[in-house]
A and B are shown apart, each in its own frame.
Chain A
Amino acid sequence: MNRLIKGISAGLAILGISACSPGPETEQSLNGLLYCAEGNPESFNPQLVTSGTTLDMTSAQLYDRLLEFDAESQAFLGALATSWEISNDGLRYRFQLRENVQFHTTPWFQPTRFMNADDIVFSFERWLKSEHPFHHVSGRGYPFFRASGLTQLIQSVTAINDHEVEIKIRQQDSSFLANLASDFAIVLSAEYGEQLLASGTAELIDTQPIGTGPFQFSQFRKDVMVRYIRHSGYWREPSASAQLVFRIAQSDHKRMLMLLTQDCDISPYPPARDIQWLRDKPEITLQDTISPNTAFWAFNTERPPFDDPLVRQALAHAVNRNAILNTVYFDHAVRADSILPNTSWAHHGTPSAYRYDPERARELLAEAGYPNGFSMQIWALPVQRAYNPNARLMAERIQADLNAIGVQAGIVSYEWSTFRRRLADGEHDSVLIGWSADHADPDNFFRPLLSCAAKRSGNNRAQWCDPMFDELLSAAISSNDQDVRKAYYEQAQDHLAREVPLLPIAHSVRFQAARQNIQGLELEPFGGIQLRNVSRQQPAVEEQ
C-alpha cells in the first residue's frame, strides 16, 4: 500500500510539474498547420459531393482542375491545362495539358508516369458515362454535374494525343468553363484506377485518394482529424507547410475557443454574435469576404395583386433593408441592389429601384388601385442558411414595415421539406429565401432562378416567366465576349428593377478567423479554401 501511494504521488508530482511549465513555444515550432473544420468529410473525392465542408477539405488540397478562376482578375487561369482553344462554333474545346505533372507517391500507389490526357478522360468519364468502371463505385451519384447540366451538355471527351484533350459539347454555353473551373471537376489518376481494379478494391479510389494537388493524403481518424502531408513533387511551388491537419470540431463556439487556446490556427464560420469580440482580440485576425449569395423576397407573380408590377414596386419601396441588415445579420452583410452579388463582373446595381421610401410605396399602391392596402402572407424559410441566418426575424421586420403602408402581412412557415414542396407548387403569396452560387459565372444567378425553364422545374420562386428576360439570358450565354455578355446582363438587371419579381435583400459575409502568426491566408469569395501558401510564422528567437 505504501509503495502504491509513493508511486502515485511521484506520478502526480511529474504531472503537475509538466502541466505548469510555460507555454507551447516548442510545439509551435512544428512545421504544420491546424485548420479546425466544421465536420467530417463525406468522401475524399469532390466529384461525389456538394457539401462545402468536404470541398474545403479535399478539392484544392488533394487535387487540381484543368483551369481555375481568379477572383481578383475575374479571369480563368490555366492549372493542369496550360492553354485552351474554342472552335468558332463554340462547340469544341481543346485543352493543352501541362507536362511533367506528378501524381502523389504514397505507400499504396507509386505512379510510373506523369499526368496525361488519359487521366483527364478517365476522370471526366467517371461522372459522364455509366459504363465507366468507376461510375457506380461509392454509389453516391454526381450531384453537381447533374444539377449544372454538364452530363447533358458534354457529348464526348477524347484524348487527341498525350497532352491534348478535346471536349465536344452539344450547344454553346458560356458558363461551361466556369463549371470546369469549379471545385468539383478534379482530375484523378487513371493508373491508380487500373491498379485498384486489378486488386478488386475499386472503392479505395475515394477513401485513399491520389491526386496531383499540393498535399497528399496521410491519415483520417473519424471525428478527430484528417492529416495531409506536403506533396514534394507538386508542379507549382511546394506547399508552405509540411503538414496540414484538419481537426474536426462541430460546434462553432468550441472552434472559437480552440482558436484562442492555440488548438487551431484557422477556423471558418465563427459564431455571428461573437464577431465583434473576436475582432477586439489582438492575437486573432478576422477575414471576411462577401460570399456570392443573395437573400431575396420573391413575389408570386401569378397571384393577384402581385401580378401587377406597381404593387411589387410598392412592396419593394416599403421595406427598410438597412434595418434588416442590422438586426438579422448583425451588419455582417451588405445590402443587395441586384440579384447578382456585387462581386460579380456583371453586377449592375439599381439602388433607386429598391430604395426605402414608404411615401412612394403608398403612392404606387394607390396608383395600382389599392389605396387602403390589402392583406398577404410572407413565407419564411424554416432553416438557417448562409444567406439568411434568421428568416423568421426578417419576416417580422418586413411585417412591421408593411403595416406602415397599410398592408397586413401574416407569417407562414412549414417544416423544410413540406415548405419546399409547397413553394414548388406555387402556393405562396411571397417568400423569403435565397441562393448561393456554385461558381463565378453570373448565369448561375439568372437561369436557375428566374427563367421560364426554372418556373417549369419548380425552382422559380416568383413563378415569373418573361420571354423578353429569357431572350436576354440566352443572348448572354451564347456569347463568349465578356463585354457583350455584360451589356446583356445589364439590360436583364434593369428589366428586373422595373418588373421586381423579387426584392434582393442582402449578400451576407463569410468570415474566417486565424491566429495572428498565420501567413499567406486568403479568403476567396468562391467556396473552396486554398491552403498551399499558408504557413505559421516561426516564433522569433528570443534571448537565452
Chain B
Amino acid sequence: MRIYVLRQLVLLIITLFLLTIFAFCLSYWFPGDPVTNSSGIFSDDTMRYADAASSRGFDGNILVQYWHYLAHLFRGDWGISLLDSDPVFEQLQLRFGATLEIAVLAMLIALVPGVALGVLSALNFRKPIDHTILSMSLSGYSIPVFWFAQIAILLVAVRWGMLPIAGQINPLFNIEAVTGSILLDIFINQPENMGLAFRSAIRHITLPVLVLSVMPMMLLIRLTRSSMLDVLDKNYITSAYAKGLSTRRVISSHAIPNAMQNVIRELGSLLSLLITNTMIIEVIFSWPGIGSWLIRSIYERDYPVIQGGLLLIAALILCVHVALNLIHAWRYPQVRKDLHATS
C-alpha cells in the first residue's frame, strides 16, 4: 500500500509540474506580449511593467523565466486581471469556494438516489421498474442542464414564487466572504440573525444544487445498475445464496460493496462533467463562483484569468482522481495486487 500511495503521489506531482509548464507556455502562445499575458500589467504603465518584467525574470533565458513563474505561483501572485486589475489569486480563492460548494453538494445529493435507484433497477432486471428507471435516467441524462435550469426558474421561482433565483443569500445579510462558500461564511461571520441567514442561504442554494445534481444522478443510476448486474452474475454471489444467506444479507454485504468498486472509480470522470455544468449553472443563477468569471475572461481574452482558472480546475480534477484512486486501493486490496502484478 505504501508503495502504491507513493507512486500515485509522484505521478500527481509530475502531472502538476507538466501542467505548470503548459500554463507557462500559454503566456507565449497567446497573442500579445508575454509579460502582459502573465502579469496582467499593460506596457503603457511603464514603471510597473518594468517591475513585472524584471521580477518575472524576462531579462533571463526561458528557464529563468519559468523558475520565476513557479516562484510567483507559489507566492500566490498570479498576476492581475487585464479587465479590472483585480488580483487573480485572491479572486480565484473567493470564487472557488463558491463553485466547490454547489459542486460538492450536488454530488452528495446525486449519490444517494443515484445508487439506490441503480441497485433497485438491477435487482428488478428487465422488469417494469427497471424499464421505468432506465428510461427516466436516459431522458434525464440527455436533457441539457440549462434547459432544466430554465424550467426550474420558470416553474418553481417565477410561477410558484417558492425560491429565489440569484446569488448565494439575500444580500441584506451582511456576510463577509471569507471562504466563498456561503454556508461556511455564515458560520464564520456569526451574524446575530444566524438562523435566518442560514435559511436564506439554503433557499438560495436549493435550486442550483438540485438542477446540477440531475446529470450525475442519472449517470450514477446507470453505472450502479450495470456494475450491480456484473456482480450479481459472479460465483461468490451464487455461493453466498448456496450457503443459505438471506437475499438481504447477500445484497447488502456482498453485492453492493463490490458493485461500488466500479462506481467509485467512475466518480472522477463524473466530476469533470460536473465542473463544466457548474459553470453554466453559475451563470444562470448568478452564483459568484469561478464559472461566470472564467466565461467572461474567455470572451474578453483576459489571459491571466484564463491561465489561473485553467491551472486551478485542472489541478482540482487531477487531485480528485488521485484521491479516488487511493481510496479505491485502500478499500479494495485486489486493486493494489493488480497494479503490482502489472508493474
- The residues of A with any CB-CB pair to B shorter than 8 Å are 1, 5, 8-9, 11-12, 15, 18-21, 23-24, 26-27, 30, 32, 34, 40, 218-219, 221-225, 227, 243, 245, 247, 249, 254, 257-258, 260-263
Please give the distance in Å from B97's CB to the nearest CB on chain A.
Answer: 13
Nearest to A36 among chain B residues (CB) is B166
Please give the distance in Å from A16's CB to the nearest CB on chain B.
Answer: 9
**Chain A residue contacts of B200, Cβ below 8 A:** 24, 27
Asked whether B206 lies within 8 Å of A261 as measured between CB atoms, the reply is no
Let me know if B163 is at the binding interface, CB within 8 A: yes
Let me know if B153 is at the binding interface, CB within 8 A: yes
Of residues 177 through 225 on chain B, the ones whose CB sits less than 8 Å from some CB of chain A are 177, 196, 199-200, 202-203, 206
Cα(A11)–Cα(B203), bound, Å = 14
Q: List 22 A-B contacts (CB under 8 A).
A: A1-B257, A1-B260, A12-B109, A19-B162, A26-B199, A27-B172, A30-B170, A30-B173, A34-B170, A34-B172, A221-B288, A222-B84, A223-B288, A225-B167, A245-B171, A249-B166, A254-B286, A257-B165, A258-B166, A260-B158, A262-B161, A263-B166
Cα(A450)–Cα(B293), bound, Å = 45
- The residues of B with any CB-CB pair to A shorter than 8 Å are 84, 86, 91, 108-109, 111-112, 153, 157-158, 161-167, 170-174, 176-177, 196, 199-200, 202-203, 206, 257, 260, 286, 288, 292-293
A8-B112, A19-B203, A27-B196 known; A249 vs B163 contact (CB < 8 Å)? no
A26-B196, A254-B166, A261-B164 known; A8 vs B176 contact (CB < 8 Å)? no
Asked whether B286 lies within 8 Å of A15 as measured between CB atoms, the reply is no
Asked whether B174 lies within 8 Å of A227 as measured between CB atoms, the reply is yes
Please give the distance in Å from A375's CB to the nearest CB on chain B.
Answer: 42
Cα(A444)–Cα(B108), bound, Å = 61
Asked whether B171 lies within 8 Å of A225 as measured between CB atoms, the reply is yes
Please give the distance in Å from A342's CB to the nearest CB on chain B.
Answer: 37
Cα(A227)–Cα(B175), bound, Å = 11
Given contacts A18-B202, A27-B196, A263-B165, 13 further A-B contacts (CB under 8 A): A1-B260, A8-B112, A18-B203, A19-B203, A20-B162, A23-B161, A24-B164, A26-B199, A218-B174, A219-B176, A223-B288, A261-B158, A262-B164
Asked whether A19 lies within 8 Å of B157 as measured between CB atoms, the reply is no
Most chain B beta-carbon contacts within 10 A, residue among A5, A12, A224, A260: A224
Asked whether A34 lies within 8 Å of B158 as measured between CB atoms, the reply is no
Q: Which of B153, B177, B260 contacts A221 (CB 8 A)?
A: B177
**Chain A residue contacts of B91, Cβ below 8 A:** 222
**Chain B residue contacts of A249, Cβ below 8 A:** 166, 286
Q: Which of B109, B165, B292 contacts A258 (CB 8 A)?
A: B165
**Chain B residue contacts of A19, Cβ below 8 A:** 162-163, 202-203, 206
Asked whether B165 lies within 8 Å of A11 as measured between CB atoms, the reply is no
Cα(A5)–Cα(B115), bound, Å = 10
Asked whether B196 lies within 8 Å of A247 as measured between CB atoms, the reply is no
**Chain A residue contacts of B112, Cβ below 8 A:** 5, 8-9, 12
Please give the distance in Å from B264's CB to the nearest CB on chain A.
Answer: 11
Most chain A beta-carbon contacts within 10 A, residue among B162, B166, B199, B260: B166
Cα(A258)–Cα(B204), bound, Å = 12
Asked whether B166 lies within 8 Å of A11 as measured between CB atoms, the reply is no
Please give the distance in Å from A75's CB to the nearest CB on chain B.
Answer: 37
Asked whether B86 lies within 8 Å of A222 as measured between CB atoms, the reply is yes
A8-B111, A247-B166 known; A34 vs B293 contact (CB < 8 Å)? no
Please give the distance in Å from B41's CB to the nearest CB on chain A.
Answer: 14
Nearest to B94 among chain A residues (CB) is A221
**Chain A residue contacts of B162, Cβ below 8 A:** 19-20, 23
Asked whether A223 lies within 8 Å of B166 as measured between CB atoms, the reply is no
Please give the distance in Å from B154's CB to the nearest CB on chain A.
Answer: 9
Most chain A beta-carbon contacts within 10 A, residue among B91, B172, B257: B172
Please give the distance in Å from A40's CB to the nearest CB on chain B.
Answer: 8
**Chain A residue contacts of B111, Cβ below 8 A:** 8
Cα(A127)–Cα(B190), bound, Å = 44
Asked whether A257 lies within 8 Å of B153 as measured between CB atoms, the reply is yes
A26-B196, A27-B196 known; A257 vs B167 contact (CB < 8 Å)? no
Please give the distance in Å from B330's CB to the nearest CB on chain A.
Answer: 13
Please give the distance in Å from A52's CB to the nearest CB on chain B.
Answer: 19
Nearest to B115 among chain A residues (CB) is A5
**Chain B residue contacts of A224, Cβ below 8 A:** 167, 171, 286, 288
Q: Which of B84, B109, B157, B292 contacts A261 (CB 8 A)?
A: B157
Please give the distance in Å from A192's CB to the nearest CB on chain B.
Answer: 23
Cα(A454)–Cα(B86), bound, Å = 40
Asked whether A247 lies within 8 Å of B167 as measured between CB atoms, the reply is yes
A221-B288, A261-B161 known; A30 vs B203 contact (CB < 8 Å)? no
Asked whether B203 lies within 8 Å of A24 as measured between CB atoms, the reply is yes
Cα(A11)–Cα(B74), bound, Å = 37
**Chain B residue contacts of A260, Cβ below 8 A:** 157-158, 161
Q: Which of A18, A219, A247, A257 contacts B158 (CB 8 A)?
A: A257
**Chain A residue contacts of B84, Cβ below 8 A:** 40, 222
Please give the distance in Å from B114's CB to the nearest CB on chain A.
Answer: 11
Asked whether A219 lies within 8 Å of B174 as measured between CB atoms, the reply is yes
Cα(A245)–Cα(B173), bound, Å = 10
Cα(A24)–Cα(B161), bound, Å = 10
Cα(A227)–Cα(B176), bound, Å = 11
Most chain B beta-carbon contacts within 10 A, residue among A1, A21, A254, A261: A261
Cα(A191)–Cα(B28), bound, Å = 47
Cα(A19)–Cα(B205), bound, Å = 9
Asked whether B172 lies within 8 Å of A32 as measured between CB atoms, the reply is yes
Asked whether A15 lies within 8 Å of B164 as measured between CB atoms, the reply is no
A8-B111, A9-B112, A12-B112 known; A247 vs B171 contact (CB < 8 Å)? yes
Asked whether B157 lies within 8 Å of A257 as measured between CB atoms, the reply is yes
Cα(A257)–Cα(B164), bound, Å = 10
**Chain B residue contacts of A24, Cβ below 8 A:** 164, 170, 200, 203
Cα(A245)–Cα(B196), bound, Å = 18
Nearest to B198 among chain A residues (CB) is A18
Asked whether B164 lies within 8 Å of A263 as measured between CB atoms, the reply is yes
Q: Which of B166, B171, B199, B206 contacts A227 (CB 8 A)?
A: B171
Please give the distance in Å from A107's CB to the nearest CB on chain B.
Answer: 13
Cα(A123)–Cα(B161), bound, Å = 47
Asked whether A15 lies within 8 Å of B165 as measured between CB atoms, the reply is no
Cα(A19)–Cα(B152), bound, Å = 14
Asked whether A8 lies within 8 Å of B167 as measured between CB atoms, the reply is no
Q: Which of A15, A20, A243, A261 contacts B172 (CB 8 A)?
A: A243
**Chain B residue contacts of A222, Cβ below 8 A:** 84, 86, 91
Nearest to B157 among chain A residues (CB) is A261
Please give the distance in Å from A283's CB to the nearest CB on chain B.
Answer: 9
